[in-house]
Amino acid sequence: MLEEILRQVQKGDLSVAEAKQKLATYEDLGFAKVDHHRKKRQGFSEIVFGEGKSAEQIISIIKALREKNNNVLVTRISKAKAEHVIQECPEFIYHDIAQILLWKNEAIEVANDSKGYINIICAGTSDLKVAEEAAITAEALGCNVQRMYDVGVAGIHRLFDHYEEIQQATVSVVVAGMEGALPSVIGGLVSHPVIAVPTSVGYGANFHGLSALLTMLNSCASGISVVNIDNGFGGAYNAALIYQLAQKGAGSE
């Protein structure tokens, strides 16, 4: 593309000023354009981190994003703040447990012919908040999602009811607090990538999630990588990237 611009200058098809702007674009907006293309192609929603932003700030951001006709996803937004936003933008829907505010652009028709699914696994009710953040995010990013919320290491036998569903997923997101051992067990049962999400659930020597985080980083099972404590969004985003790769195949970009 650089060569083309230069040739156009040489030929006089492009003034120096025009070329200068284009080359600046090559450096700067070029990146954004790629982003823009990628999002359209993949149906990925725009994502807003809601924590620490006022309802007013969120409203002005999501109005701008909505203009682009993309889905819009706001994570880590409290119920009170979300209700405030919905008064202004009633097309948004609030997911209570996940603390996510979501607008799905119905105008974007997504023919869902995607194969496989992301398996979101967690042990119990206390990790639900993070698991749901992952699940809603992955769905908003256009992936098939399966929730598997009734399994935990302390009753390992429950996993075996679901043995085939666990193995056949395209990629797994495993959410666990306290000792965080579940990803190791899942990692030993499957041959696909596992994204481990430690949670701050627990007390005392869990040190706000440090315990689960270290467990997952030191897993003796191969094929496990880890995101930040309570980062359900990050777990889902990584899984969605992998899921998309599995849809379109390598080298197709």
**DSSP E strands: which ranges in 34-191?**
46-49, 72-75, 93-95, 100-103, 118-122, 145-148, 171-176
# binding residues, its own copies (CB under 8 A): 108
> CB-based contacts of 243: which residues, under 8 Å, 6+ apart?
114, 116, 118, 138, 143, 170, 171
**Residues 11-50 contacting its own copies, CB under 8 A:** 12, 16, 19-20, 23-24, 27-28, 30-32, 34-35, 38, 42, 47
Stretch that binds its own copies, among 65-73, 79-87, 88-96, 237-245 (CB under 8 A): 237-245
Q: How far apart are CA 189 and CA 170, in angstroms?
A: 13
Q: How far apart are CA 201 and CA 45, in angstroms?
A: 29
Q: Is 59 among the residues that bind its own copies (CB under 8 A)?
A: no
Stretch that binds its own copies, among 67-75, 86-94, 101-109, 179-187 (CB under 8 A): 179-187
Q: Is 156 among the residues that bind its own copies (CB under 8 A)?
A: yes
| CA dist list (Å): 140 to 29, 37, 104, 125, 222 | 26, 17, 8, 23, 29
Residue 192 CA, distance from chain mean position: 18
Stretch that binds its own copies, among 66-74, 79-87, 100-108, 189-197 (CB under 8 A): 189-197
Q: Which is nearer to its own copies, 91 or 248 (CB)?
A: 248
Stretch that binds its own copies, among 78-86, 91-99, 100-108, 176-184 (CB under 8 A): 176-184
> CB-based contacts of 249: which residues, under 8 Å, 6+ apart?
none
Torsion angles phi and psi, residue 119, rounded to 5:
-100, 115
CB of 74 to its own copies, least distance (A): 14
**Residues 214-233 contacting its own copies, CB under 8 A:** 214-231
CB of 62 to its own copies, least distance (A): 14
**Residues 105-134 contacting its own copies, CB under 8 A:** 114-116, 123-126
